[in-house]
Structure 1
Amino acid sequence: MKTYQILGLMSGTSLDGLDLAFCHIWQSGTDWKFKIKETKSVSYSPELQSKLRNSIFLPAEELLSFHNSYGTWLGEQSKGFIEEHALNVECISSHGHTTHHRPEMGLTFQIGSGQHLANASGQKVICDFRTNDVALGGQGAPLVPIGDTLFFGEYDFCLNLGGIANVSFDKDGQRIAYDIGLANMILNHITRKNGLDYDKGGQLASSGRANKELLTQLNHLEYYHLPYPKSTGYEWFVEKVVPLVDGTDDSMANPLCTGIHHICEQVATQVKVNSRKSDNLLLVTGGGALNDFLIQTLQEKLGSDTQVVVPDKKLIEFKEALVFALMGVLRTELKTNVLSSVTGAKRDSSSGVVFLPS
């Protein structure tokens, strides 16, 4: 079978930076296999990070201009990475960076113009994976569950802890997935308010105590009571969560500790509700998997019925970039890469728009 050589690009809501993963992907019988060959994380400059964070507030003309310039920047980063490792790349498969996500309005937008990316990198590009699903009445998210199904089917639950926490699992023969709610977004907001990029390993959080009033307010947010399929994003965080955090007069350690207890309580609730047995395996990836205090707290709240599995650091950090590489492969083969059982769309789809360099 053909082995695809794909460069996957991912930028998530936690705004850590751009993840690049050069992957070999192939099908063996009915199973899909992968090797992550080369990786790189490019941290955002303070200026670019701030612009990405505030892009939701840009006027239309400025947003579209940023869409183009960010696409060029993605292309430049890709080209440098390809040349650095002398890679033979068939295609770049890019998630872009989500600035607007309002599926209830039929709207989702990921900046990082595919044409500008293709021109700057000199490579064929596949991107814009969410729009088609939203046009079909879906949430356009989460997208990673196709990778959970094809690459990580031995786990009962796959949990990603990026800016947002999302989970996927099989139920009645179908893949189900949705955004549980908060993850690193709230933790990073608290640390950045205090001049720190992040709380390494959760050390500060582990020294604090949960603020019961804030914890209660977070746990009672309306989003947590909505049925799936559902997804959320930065708009919800700014509107519903930031006022609660910023309105809490407490030390940095206590809100961080509160945030971790909140994240873990919400995750544990969803796992327990959807568990069908007493010996579950839960795969955890994303930046939150590197937060030792969070993982410890999560295991405590899950109890003995579910074992938290933290894989090697490369998979933790680059799983999403890997899955977008897979989505590019599936789009190339015109196979399903977005699951309607996950998003609530009218049907499964093979999504993504192809751009050729000129």
Structure 2
Amino acid sequence: MIYHAIGLMSGTSLDGLDICHASFQHTSSDGWQFQILNADTVVYSPDLEKQLRNARTLAAEDLFELNASYGKYIGGQVRLFTEKHGLSSLDVIGSHGHTVFHQPHRGFTVQIGDGRAIKMVTGTPVVYDFRSADVLRGGNGAPLVPIGDKMLFGGYGACLNLGGFSNISMDFEGARTGFDICPVNIVLNHFSQLLGEPFDIGGRLAAAGKVDFDVLKILDQLDFYNVSPPKSLGAEWVSGEIMTLLSPLSPQTVLATFTEHAANQISLVLEKYAVKDLLITGGGAYNEFLLERIRLKTRCKIMVPAPELVEFKEALIFAFMAVLRLRGENNILASATGSEADHCSGLLA
């Protein structure tokens, strides 16, 4: 059977809403095969970006209102996408939602964008809220993409996503493991915007800056990096541990220093796990300076795929996870999240 699904992803870097339409087929001989058929990124309006960026500061009733309105917005964008590409038959939509809170140590994680609203607007079954059940089972609710990395991209030694946060997954000691490494674009984009750029194009701003080695040393010694996986990061941690440390510096110094910090942490992980070949996706894959710094610090062979996969791999995997949810098959790996067991997660609307 061939499944046609749409995956939706909104990351912490607030680049926009990624929409990926793909087909999936499973055979006994080849396992899961996929094809990306259509993909677009919907750039948020300044007003919506501001609402999402400030969502953590809202009163409860205002956050619930945004959850509903953002769900309707997502549904409307999916409907426009299906009309644009002439899509008439979809089996399911998998929506990650937009993360507002992520505090698994306190037993909760919150992604807004009500899946019921998406279904009401599109008329298509929707799987959403993938993370909460894992947190309730004692897991981190993250990372979730290792199931897709294992089943769709198992030919690579490891898969690294460079988005708001960097996260990696790989086979280790007989199981698929995965975890967040460090913040990336959630920090770099913020300080690039202070210099009038939406992001650090190619890493040129960082390359022209000077590293503050005293601050770099403090960053590299943050407690999180000594915690054994599974582990995950949230925007709250960045605000509390990172931004207060960086705010006294000039934006260009921050970009140089934090790019070096990200390269340090990523290369340490690659060396620790003896990764030989690495597939890099996410917006940070276009940061040539960051990749250059990682290459200088590791023996790992780095591969950046075609733009379609760079930009839409996470949305693709949420489409895949929704297909697994429809089939009643496990779509969360306990070895990656730290929950009590592999399980099938996501609410079905």
- TM-score, structure 2 normalization: 0.97
Per-residue deviation, 1:52? 0.8
**1:59-78 mapped onto 2 (5 Å cutoff):** 59-78=59-78
Match in the other structure for 1:25 = 24
Per-residue deviation, 1:255? 1.7
Match in the other structure for 1:156 = 157
What SS does the corresponding residue of 1:95 show, helix, strand or coil? strand
Does the 8 A contact of 1:134 with 1:345 survive in 2? yes
Structure 2 counterpart of 1:13, one-letter code: T
Match in the other structure for 2:316 = 322
Mapped to 2, the partners of 1:45 and 1:202 lie a distance apart of 25
Mapped to 2, the partners of 1:140 and 1:66 lie a distance apart of 22
Mapped to 1, the partners of 2:154 and 2:23 lie a distance apart of 19
Match in the other structure for 1:103 = 104
Does the 8 A contact of 1:130 with 1:351 survive in 2? yes
Structure 1 counterpart of 2:13, one-letter code: S
Does the 8 A contact of 1:339 with 1:348 survive in 2? yes
Mapped to 2, the partners of 1:146 and 1:346 lie a distance apart of 16
What SS does the corresponding residue of 1:203 show, helix, strand or coil? helix
Per-residue deviation, 1:269? 0.5
Is residue 219 from structure 1 mapped to residue 225 from structure 2 by the alignment? no
**1:258-297 mapped onto 2 (5 Å cutoff):** 258-275=257-274, 280-297=276-293
- Once the two structures are aligned, what percentage of the paired residues are identical? 42
Mapped to 2, the partners of 1:217 and 1:312 lie a distance apart of 36
Match in the other structure for 1:10 = 9
Is residue 337 from structure 1 mapped to residue 331 from structure 2 by the alignment? yes
Per-residue deviation, 1:227? 1.2
Tell me the alpha carbon deviations over residues 25-74 of structure 1, each in whole angstroms, 9 at most, x when there is no partner. 11122511110000000111111111111111111101011000000000
Mapped to 2, the partners of 1:286 and 1:49 lie a distance apart of 19
Per-residue deviation, 1:158? 0.8
Structure 2 counterpart of 1:167, one-letter code: I
Does the 8 A contact of 1:21 with 1:322 survive in 2? yes
Match in the other structure for 2:304 = 310
Match in the other structure for 1:36 = 36
What SS does the corresponding residue of 2:331 show, helix, strand or coil? coil
**1:202-213 mapped onto 2 (5 Å cutoff):** 202-213=203-214
Does the 8 A contact of 1:282 with 1:308 survive in 2? yes
Does the 8 A contact of 1:8 with 1:325 survive in 2? yes
Task: Say how many residue pairs are matched.
Answer: 347
Does the 8 A contact of 1:79 with 1:122 survive in 2? no
The runs of at least 4 consecutive aligned structure 1 residues that moved more than 4 Å come to none
Structure 2 counterpart of 1:274, one-letter code: Y
Tell me the alpha carbon deviations over residues 321-356 of structure 1, each in whole angstroms, 9 at most, x when there is no partner. 00000000100111110000111111111101111x
- TM-score, structure 1 normalization: 0.95
CA RMSD of superposed structures (Å): 1.1
Does the 8 A contact of 1:169 with 1:176 survive in 2? yes
Mapped to 2, the partners of 1:52 and 1:218 lie a distance apart of 27
What SS does the corresponding residue of 1:96 show, helix, strand or coil? strand
What SS does the corresponding residue of 1:36 show, helix, strand or coil? strand
Tell me the alpha carbon deviations over residues 221-275 of structure 1, each in whole angstroms, 9 at most, x when there is no partner. 2211111110011000111111111122x3x333211111110100010111111
Bigger CA drift: 149-158 or 213-222? 213-222
Mapped to 2, the partners of 1:49 and 1:211 lie a distance apart of 31
Mapped to 2, the partners of 1:177 and 1:231 lie a distance apart of 9
Structure 2 counterpart of 1:281, one-letter code: D
Structure 1 counterpart of 2:11, one-letter code: G
Per-residue deviation, 1:209? 2.0
Per-residue deviation, 1:135? 1.0
Does the 8 A contact of 1:215 with 1:262 survive in 2? yes
Bigger CA drift: 168-177 or 26-35? 26-35
Tell me the alpha carbon deviations over residues 102-151 of structure 1, each in whole angstroms, 9 at most, x when there is no partner. 00111011100011111112221111101111111110000000011001
Bigger CA drift: 168-177 or 25-34? 25-34
Bigger CA drift: 312-321 or 27-36? 27-36
Match in the other structure for 2:85 = 85
What SS does the corresponding residue of 1:62 show, helix, strand or coil? helix
What SS does the corresponding residue of 1:345 show, helix, strand or coil? coil
Match in the other structure for 1:195 = 196
Note the residue ranges of structure 1 that are not aligned, 5 or more in a row: none
Per-residue deviation, 1:3? 0.8
Mapped to 2, the partners of 1:286 and 1:223 lie a distance apart of 22
Note the residue ranges of structure 2 that are not aligned, 5 or more in a row: none
